Amino acid sequence: MTRQELARFLDHTLLKPDATVRDIEQLVADALTWNTYAVCVNSAYVPLVSQLRGHHTDLHIASTVGFPLGQALTACKVAETEEAIAAGADEIDLVWNLGFFLSGRHKEVEKDIQAVVNAAKAIPVKVILETGRLSPEQMRTGAQLAVGAGAKTVKTSTGFGFGGATVEAVRILREAVGPDIGVKASGGVSTYNDALLMIAAGATRIGLSKTGQVLAEAPAQQS
């Protein structure tokens, strides 16, 4: 896979709490240079990213909602979703309520996701499951619950607290949701080979912060 081909799988990501305006400006500049599919930022930075992107609409804006814990009230998640979309977000990366899921309160988790999906309307929602905290069976159940609630993509991890994506987790999610739902591998992808393994396992998107390093390892053209 060439550098250009791989870039269209990537969400160039900066979610650190100490990210500055200058850091976000550099994030967008790099994403435009590399032609990544999206940048992924916390919702407060969506207005700035939208301004910086300008007419370059091939660069999508993914906004987190409920990040990184997922345990905000549903009404807060809905409001954050609406505000992010109004500011220019093209996608929503929602952290589900992991604690409720692990407590068996699946109906409440489903309603939480549905409320955000309804608020997002035509904007696709990715649901972050924190697969590092889940058994394979819980991954399957959680992925199917998220899709049943309207998610267009299931995502492995926030990268905060429970580890990142694994090939096994991506494979399980792909098997659970079938061919028509997206799977995003996020957290811990730091090499070109890592990225290829995730794609081979079924990932349709990859969220990473070491985008330049990964793309530098990719061939500029097919050999």
Q: In this structure, what CATH number is given to the domain that contains residue 108?
A: 3.20.20.70
58 counts as catalytic:
no
Query: What confidence score (pLDDT) does residue 165 get?
Result: 97
In a domain? residue 176: yes
Identity of the amino acid at 129: L
What single-letter DSSP state applies at residue 209? S
* Distance in angstroms (rounded) separating the CA atoms of residues 3 and 154: 25
**Number of domains making up the chain:** 1
Domain of residue 42 covers: 3-217
Identity of the amino acid at 62: A
* Distance in angstroms (rounded) separating the CA atoms of residues 61 and 148: 24
* Distance in angstroms (rounded) separating the CA atoms of residues 146 and 153: 9
Give helix 136-148 / helix 106-120 axis angle, nearest 10°: 40
Instruction: List beta partners, residue 205.
Output: 184
Whole-prediction pTM: 0.97
Q: List the catalytic residue out of 11, 90, 93, 112.
A: 93
Regions of the chain where pLDDT drops below 70: 223
Query: What confidence score (pLDDT) does residue 221 get?
Result: 87
Copy the structure tokens of residue 48: 């700035």
The runs of H, that is alpha helices, within the chain are: 3-7, 21-34, 46-53, 74-87, 98-102, 106-120, 136-148, 167-177, 192-201, 211-217
In a domain? residue 79: yes
184 counts as catalytic:
yes
In a domain? residue 222: no
Longest dimension (CA), the chain: 52
User: CB-hemisphere CA count at 13 Å for 209?
Assistant: 12
Instruction: List beta partners, residue 183.
Output: 154
Copy the structure tokens of residue 223: 């050999």
Alpha carbon 116 to its chain's center: 15
In a domain? residue 223: no
Q: List the catalytic residue out of 11, 77, 155, 194.
A: 155
